[in-house]
Chains A and B, each alone.
Chain A
Amino acid sequence: MSEIDRDSLMAYLDNQLGPDDRAEMERRLAADPEAATEAALMQRQADAIRTLYGPAANEPVPSRLSPHRMALAAQRRRWQDMARAAMIIAVLGIGMAVGWLLRPWADNPALYNRLIADAVSAHTVFVAEGRHAVEVAGEETDHLSSWLSNRLETPLAMPDLATAGFSFLGGRLLPAPAIPGGRAAQLMYEDADGERVTLYITPKTGVNGPSLELVRLGGDNALYWANATITCTIVGPQPPAQLQALADTVFAQLTPSSAPGSDYRPI
């Protein structure tokens, strides 16, 4: 029977002893071949374990295990949740404003008023989108033009607002809930500061109303006008005068077949 107990021997092997105890244990082991054999065996076990699994700590760490990245991602998720909550509040607010707008026609609001309301709803939903703001990107102007013209059964050109400081992001096809079976085109533009403006375009068919109407809804202004072939609602946070100027540029380009000024008169 060895004089060295198991726990002391383990403590020695596991480097848990101070220098004095360590030296003392080495002296005792030198005089106790039985315990020395035991120690060598445990040492081999420990060496084998370190040989087996030690290298895992030297492998390059995959980026998904970077705490900095994970903290950033968590923060981004929190921001997205907050943005989504803010968005819901904004949409509710606009819904109430729209309701108020349609109040005089509570039973059967005029069609053009519903078009304005739809234009603002579509604006609110899609300007908040980052990567999916549009269905077809602005680079494909020709494709967009022929596609949307076909769907709306009205010749449309994609207005170029570069002179007004807006780049064309692209467009999408939307249902126009105000018109049974109706379709609308939404075109989106962005200025250098990231402010976005949308055009909501439907065919003129069956829409009666004023040729020009300016409405303020939530933080956005909506400028509606109609000519012989289309209705267009331009929505954005810009002041009315700037929307008006944009509308002039849009109108001149959107329906090339209509002569400027024939149906449309500035306010």
Chain B
Amino acid sequence: MVDFLDELEANVPALRRYARALTRNIDRADDLVQDCLERAISRRGLFRSSGPVRPWLFTILTNLHRNALRTERRHGPTVDMDTLPELGTPAPQPAHMALNEIARAIDTLPLDQKEALLLVTLEGTPYAEAADILQIPLGTLMSRLGRARAALRQLTGATHEPHLRTVK
């Protein structure tokens, strides 16, 4: 039991990072992580039989986030005052602009591409594990990653035709 809780604790920073990138809102991200941990604690009996804790936690978090988005779509989105652009704010500095641009571009990605991209680039998850977390075949993961990267390239203005072969 204590080992299990220690294992959960070791994963909290990564879960917070992934949730933060998914929601871009510190409170909603931490709420997701809290829900995820509570679910894990109350269902540890179910978990015992299957593999390592980390992918299981990321699967729970991903599903909670999808559910939250579905609920939000039904009830209309909550707008965080902090994220509303202020009127009359001077143009951001170029160095920041590139990051803001990327952040906005990620937001416009379809959710399944966004999840794949964040798991791999931000969390450094091995492909097989990421596919396991998202419960999709490896090939589907690769194609989502490829599409996410191509979309980012276009959205951030680095537009040139993809030169690389896509192996089906």
* Bitwise interface map of B from 82 to 110 toward A, beta carbon under 8 Å scored 1, else 0: 00000000000000001100110010000
Q: Are A74 and B41 in contact (CB under 8 A)?
A: yes
Given A45-B153, A50-B122, A70-B37, A16 and B17 contact (CB-CB distance below 8 Å): no
Residues of A with C-beta under 8 A to B122: 49-50, 53-54
Once A and B bind, how many residue pairs between them come within 8 Å at the CB atom? 120
Q: Are A61 and B121 in contact (CB under 8 A)?
A: no
Chain B interfacial residues counted at CB < 8 A: 47
Instruction: Name, among A15, A54, A61, A67, the residue most crowded by chain B CB atoms within 10 Å (CB to CB).
Output: A67
Q: Is the interface of A mostly helix, strand, loop or mixed?
A: helix
Q: Are A70 and B38 in contact (CB under 8 A)?
A: yes
User: In this assembly, does B137 line the interface, its C-beta being within 8 Å of a C-beta of chain A?
Assistant: no
User: In this assembly, does A14 line the interface, its C-beta being within 8 Å of a C-beta of chain B?
Assistant: yes
User: In this assembly, does A58 line the interface, its C-beta being within 8 Å of a C-beta of chain B?
Assistant: yes
User: In this assembly, does A2 line the interface, its C-beta being within 8 Å of a C-beta of chain B?
Assistant: yes
Docked pose: A1 CA to B120 CA in angstroms: 26
User: In this assembly, does B166 line the interface, its C-beta being within 8 Å of a C-beta of chain A?
Assistant: yes
Residues of A with C-beta under 8 A to B33: 65
User: In this assembly, does A57 line the interface, its C-beta being within 8 Å of a C-beta of chain B?
Assistant: yes
Docked pose: A58 CA to B17 CA in angstroms: 9
User: In this assembly, does A21 line the interface, its C-beta being within 8 Å of a C-beta of chain B?
Assistant: no
Which positions 10-63 of chain A face chain B at CB distance < 8 Å?
Answer: 10-11, 14-16, 34-35, 38, 41-42, 45-46, 48-54, 56-59, 61-62
Given A6-B146, A14-B120, A15-B124, A65 and B102 contact (CB-CB distance below 8 Å): no
Docked pose: A45 CA to B149 CA in angstroms: 8
User: In this assembly, does B68 line the interface, its C-beta being within 8 Å of a C-beta of chain A?
Assistant: no
Q: What is the size category of the interface that chain A forms with chain B?
A: 35 or more
Chain B proximity of A61: nearest CB distance (Å): 5
User: In this assembly, does B152 line the interface, its C-beta being within 8 Å of a C-beta of chain A?
Assistant: yes
Residues of A with C-beta under 8 A to B5: 67-68, 71
Docked pose: A68 CA to B29 CA in angstroms: 20
* Bitwise interface map of B from 25 to 56 toward A, beta carbon under 8 Å scored 1, else 0: 00001100110011011100000000000000
Interface segment out of the listed B6-14, B58-66, B73-81: B6-14
Which positions 102-147 of chain B face chain A at CB distance < 8 Å?
Answer: 102-103, 106, 117-118, 120-122, 124, 126-127, 142, 145-146
- Considering the complex, give the chain B residue whose CB is closest to the CB of A50: B122
Residues of A with C-beta under 8 A to B156: 45
Q: Are A45 and B152 in contact (CB under 8 A)?
A: yes
Chain A proximity of B122: nearest CB distance (Å): 5
Q: Are A48 and B98 in contact (CB under 8 A)?
A: yes
Docked pose: A14 CA to B158 CA in angstroms: 20
Interface, chain A (partner B; CB < 8 A): 1-2, 4-7, 9-11, 14-16, 34-35, 38, 41-42, 45-46, 48-54, 56-59, 61-62, 64-68, 70-71, 74
